[in-house]
Structure 1
């Protein structure tokens, strides 16, 4: 069965995904400047769902009732694997923009489409670049979008959570926004950092109660630790 699925993944699913990715990127590049709300989120959302459907990855979302569609949030999640991106993009159900590394814009078409869609490119090289990141984030939030951040900065190598950086939490304090911790469970089993092969399975996204800005008088470091503890506690022991 594993061999048959491998043949299906590389010979059938992947060519479809490549074509869909190119079409989505080109469409976003051309159309997102005219309507970032629709072409910067809803079109890529269905692209992300295609990645899941074609490779038999089920995504279950818990706690969505805690989120107000008309409120901007900063969502922070642990980063188990590549399918974190597809599961959140496809199934979060809230118009958002990613905060991503500036280097990703070097990917032909896909990186350019991300810029056109209005995702926030984080560049840590100098103060001028960081200031631009903050300005771009402020503009997206003013437009009513939310932001999604992986505070670990990269996918885990072992499946266990890494240290949370405080950048996203400083942003939450700066713009007085509620922070929503999201626990991702199952993505490491579906596609860990060490392979390009997918194992069909279920990914669970658990949205926790939003932490209101200033509600507990936490500084960015303490807020990062609070979110870490919430997400960490909701993972199976083997993933903690």
Structure 2
């Protein structure tokens, strides 16, 4: 009975609220970033949006913050990717001003593409050497003065909460820019909206921030060990059945 009532709530209440809040968020970012500072307007509307969506979905969010993290320091946050709600979690509960490293194709999305550009997110161009160099320059110029980025190195959502192999991109970026990496564990998000399903579940999600890992002095030869270390740290905060 509870599942049936929540299904009605999902389509009658939550989905309209999601559409309205997303429209409000993108328009606010576009207008605010055009008239003002995108460091503020490109971030705080997203915080409100992310938390509103999670609350509207009746999710129970538990955040385990880390006192070692400095809000004035730029980081590369590396998180496991459990579900579609990871985006709302990051926006609402990361607690650090950040910019996404986004696919070029997202530029063409109505409202979202323009809002992302105005907010100062970096569009990644891997189509040519010139594009890669330009992307790295934009990333270097963006990730400073306390502005961080968030990366899901698995590249896709988990169907069962277990982690897939990590790709190198996030770690190469951290090494190149000499930025600390912060492993982040997301647990429970895959249950909210399972892959290939439209039925949501109002479950609990935890977000755990681990100690930052310095990358200064590391080289590409250290990359495999760094990736393995971050993977192990993130996995350590997952329940036994998801390891």
Give the TM interval when normalised to the shorter protein. Answer: over 0.9
Partner of 2:125: 123
Give the alignment's TM-score, normalised by structure 1.
0.93
Partner of 1:3: 4
Partner of 1:134: 136
Query: Of the candidates 146, 149, 167, which is equivalent to residue 147 of structure 1?
Result: 149
Figure out how many residues of one structure are paired with residues of the other and give that number.
Answer: 240
- Could you say what secondary structure the match of 2:126 adopts? coil
Partner of 2:211: 209
- Provide the C-alpha distance between the structure 1 equivalents of 2:154 and 2:13, rounded to a whole number of angstroms: 33
Deviations 1:99-153 (A, max 9, x none): 2222222221112211211112223322222222211211111343011111111
Alignment of 1:83-122 (within 5 A): 83-122=85-124
Contact 1:66 1:207 in 2 (8 A): no
Structure 1 214/183 Cα, relative in aligned 2: closer, same or farther at 3 Å? Answer: same
Structure 1 145/8 Cα, relative in aligned 2: closer, same or farther at 3 Å? Answer: same
Which of 173-182 and 228-237 deviates more?
A: 228-237
- Could you say what secondary structure the match of 2:24 adopts? helix
Q: Provide the alpha-carbon RMSD of the alignment.
A: 1.7
- Could you say what secondary structure the match of 1:64 adopts? coil
- Could you say what secondary structure the match of 1:3 adopts? helix
Large movers: runs of 4+ above 4 Å: 215-218
Contact 1:169 1:221 in 2 (8 A): no
Which of 157-166 and 198-207 deviates more?
A: 157-166
For structure 2, list consecutive stretches of 5 or more residues without a partner in the other structure: none
- Provide the C-alpha distance between the structure 2 equivalents of 1:59 and 1:129, rounded to a whole number of angstroms: 39
Partner of 1:16: 17
Partner of 1:42: 44
Alignment of 1:19-98 (within 5 A): 19-33=20-34, 34-98=36-100
Which of 139-148 and 215-224 deviates more?
A: 215-224
- Could you say what secondary structure the match of 1:180 adopts? strand
- Provide the C-alpha distance between the structure 1 equivalents of 2:114 and 2:240, rounded to a whole number of angstroms: 39
Partner of 2:241: 238
Give the alignment's TM-score, normalised by structure 2.
0.92
**Aligned: 1:225 with 2:228:** yes
Deviations 1:33-56 (A, max 9, x none): 321121101011101111100111
- Per-residue deviation at 1:215? 6.4
Partner of 2:184: 182
- Per-residue deviation at 1:216? 6.7
- Could you say what secondary structure the match of 1:128 adopts? helix
- Per-residue deviation at 1:230? 1.0
